[in-house]
Homo-oligomer: A and B are copies of this chain.
Amino acid sequence: MLHKKLATIEDVAALAGVSIATVSRALNEPTKVADSTRRRVSEAIAQTGYTTNAMARNLRMRRSNMILILAPDVGDPNFSNILVGLETEASKRGYGLLIGNTQNDPLREADYLRFISSNQADGLILLTGHLPYGIGEAEGSMRLPPMVAVGEPVPNADIPFIGVDNLEAARIATEHLIAQGHKRIAFIGRSSGRAVNSLRERGYRAALQGAGIAVDPAMIIDGDGTTESGRAAAELMFVRDHLPTAFFCVNDATALGVMISLNARRYDLPADFSVMGFDDISFSSFVTPALTTMKQPRLNIGERAMDMLLALLEGGEPREREVLFRAELIVRNSVKAPRTRF
């Protein structure tokens, strides 16, 4: 009602004295129309202010040029840069991004699939770590759209994954602690359900075994990756009075929780305890002591993931099952050699 009345291809055609087919061709296959005609069309377009109506085009082409992003929480500092990467690549290739914040609510996940089933999105990016609820239910109801998983792999499903090599990165992190002289290293944030947590735990175990250090089950504490879970885990270790010299945390948020607990207990970091994180989210460099951690190349991950999805969309078969980036060890001040106190 505000848009007055937009010019259509017909207005342009009339003004240029050609048929609508020619106008369309002038726009989409310029080589196929004579120079003089093309000029007239361009002029008519400029004069009318014509823009292609994307809805009509989409209907005809059966393509929306839109990608649906499913994420549990777009505010998560770990996602934000991935999002930017996704967006950069998508926008460069003429695609738009539809965001679906699911809060891990199955209902919302299912609801967002309406964009897929109603043809409003051509592909799907999964940041959730699992297939959206209700995607494969009714038999003929919905074919799986092209999709890729980013950050968190999707277990038990044949979906291309783009992310960091979590096992390898966790191994490197743990080896860094070992290299500083730590032998009693806790792993904070075990969670059998989450693929990322499991992989990082395996990397931790691999490093210990590689160094001939026995894995002590009491040094492995559950956690869901929140700051609060990190705090609680550290507290638990103090209650049990079975302490490590270093904490390897499943992510920076957890590490922050551990540091809060240690600070509250008036320990001197990193002299009394070393803390290592994973992710390198923005404030990790601001905290005191600044957190040593593994940095994910989030921007690259996002770009690569979008590139892969679009290739899938335009090309057909996926070329790779997974693309693993290397995480980079960022050395700051939260890790030091252990005190030789015994």
Contact = CB atoms under 8 A, between A and B. Distances in A.
Interface stretch (A52-60, A204-212, A239-247, A320-328): A52-60
A52 B75 CA distance: 32
Contacts of A120: 54-55, 96
Interface string A106-144: 001001101101111000000000000000001011111
A160 interface: no
A30 interface: no
B87 A101 contact: yes
Contacts of A316: 1
A52 B118 contact: yes
Given A75-B83, A84-B75, A2 B146 contact: yes
Nearest to A61: B55
A143 B55 contact: no
A54 B114 CA distance: 9
Contacts of A3: 143, 145
A101 B84 contact: yes
Nearest to A75: B80
Contacts of A75: 77, 80-81, 83-84
Contact of A99 (B53, B64, B97, B256): B97
Contacts of A227: 286
A119 B53 CA distance: 6
Contacts of A337: none
A84 to B, nearest CB: 6
A224 interface: no
Contacts of A114: 51
A96 B99 CA distance: 8
A64 B121 CA distance: 13
A111 B87 CA distance: 13
Contact of A256 (B84, B112, B286): B286
A138 B48 CA distance: 10
Which of A138, A141, A260 has the most chain B CB within a 10 Å cutoff? A141
B99 A87 contact: yes
Nearest to A142: B49
Given A54-B118, A120-B55, A144 B283 contact: no
A192 interface: no
A15 interface: no
Contacts of A138: 49
Interface of A: 1-4, 6, 49, 51-56, 58-59, 64, 66, 73-77, 80-81, 83-84, 87-88, 91, 96-99, 101, 108, 111-112, 114-115, 117-120, 138, 140-146, 227, 256, 260, 263, 282-283, 286-288, 316
Q: Which 6 A-B pairs have the closest CB atoms?
A: A75-B80, A49-B141, A54-B118, A283-B283, A55-B59, A51-B117
9 contacts: A2-B145, A51-B114, A53-B59, A55-B55, A74-B83, A84-B101, A263-B288, A286-B287, A287-B287
Given A49-B142, A283-B287, 4 more contacts: A49-B140, A75-B83, A97-B99, A227-B286
